[in-house]
Structure 1
């Protein structure tokens, strides 16, 4: 009889210990695991009961997902990794929300805000922007596009812009119909210009530093100025039409 009672007591003791250890293990699984290293995130920290959304209760859970999920940007949006082909290289970045014209628009507003002597009766010519560390007779695709964008922006302010590269006839060819030319023999010797908008380009660690100014043709006085930094990813989005590339843009030397 005593032996039977001892066996029963032992069984009850083992059963109670198993229940206690089971409860402790369950509690450990539901409690978050905190890492000793504040910069190391443990994924088990964000595991919870089935069907529960821990990210709503713990903002750091959503941060962990954004930092460790491939293809998800810093704002939690899915990024497709858009590719931009640039012949010599493959430019990979997010889709651009600004282009060169957006920075020219800001510079044009700066020019108008500190402009002197110009009016809606003053004709202005616009030249390409020269590379600052050259003999000022070289430019690139960015220098071309800056001039084109400034023509648009100044015209919006009702400032008369003279395009001195236009000829007196339309050239019809197999490649297309053209009225613009860079051959000085096809252009007028003189243009009715009183002021000219010009500028320089300087490479910067973050992009291109653009210096724009309006000069008097006779006095050479600066009557307006502006400055802006165009990021590299905006400049590199300009794709040249041939293979003569220098840092992603085509060099053009003046004659």
Structure 2
């Protein structure tokens, strides 16, 4: 009798205990993703798109990841595009793509700032790299965030071999984007909106 009561008590205790909450799986949906990880997650999803949509996938070919640029000024980058470029390089490598580091100089520079090898001085960089494809990405702003269009281009004939489209809202941008001001300048005139956020988002500058 005592044994039966003990078993019944254990069963009632197990029923009363709250079920364990499973950890969110960001790889499936991205819902609930922490803001600090949104850009990493975005890079991974773009890399997944590029692999899935590739016409002639050959991961032995050497790929160069160029710096993403703003669509309205293809000569301009920024904090968000540069960080996205770094994320894409990591995400593609993790998926087994063959990548080249464009900013690696020919020798290590020993200085008070540390032992450095990365450089943006073209005279220090390798001029002739056996690159087969380049990753090109553009960002365009709207009132809710940025649209990212990425593509892999065959360097021999400029043929687009893979593409990806993605979106990053300003709420997810981890401090890289903010809503536009209620007063903006357009063609030399000040335009006042009733509320901020009616015009494209702005990139946050430190």
TM-score, length basis structure 2: 0.67
Match of 2:47 in 1: 108
Mapping for residues 133-172 of structure 1, pairs under 5 Å: 133-134=72-73, 136-172=74-110
Q: Does 1:173 align with 2:111?
A: yes
Q: Does 1:212 align with 2:150?
A: yes
Give how far 1:149 is off: 0.7
Match of 1:33 in 2: none
Match of 1:192 among 130, 134, 152: 130
| Bigger share in helix | 1
| Bigger share in strand | 2
Match of 1:237 in 2: 175
TM-score, length basis structure 1: 0.55
- Uncovered stretches (5+) of structure 2, i.e. residues with no partner: 1-33, 178-201
* Matched residue count: 149
Give how far 1:137 is off: 0.9
Match of 1:121 in 2: 60
- Output the CA distance in 2 between the equivalents of 1:189 and 1:174: 27
RMSD: 1.8
CA deviation string 1:32-88 (max 9, x = no partner): xxxxxxxxxxxxxxxxxxxxxxxxxxxxxxxxxxxxxxxxxxxxxxxxxxxxxxxxx
Match of 2:185 in 1: none
2:141–2:147 CA contact under 8 A, matched in 1: yes
CA deviation string 1:137-187 (max 9, x = no partner): 111111111111111111111111001210121111111221111100001
After superposing on structure 2, the runs of 4+ consecutive aligned residues of structure 1 that deviate more than 3 Å are: none
- Output the CA distance in 1 between the equivalents of 2:40 and 2:95: 15
Match of 1:224 in 2: 162
- Output the CA distance in 2 between the equivalents of 1:168 and 1:219: 29
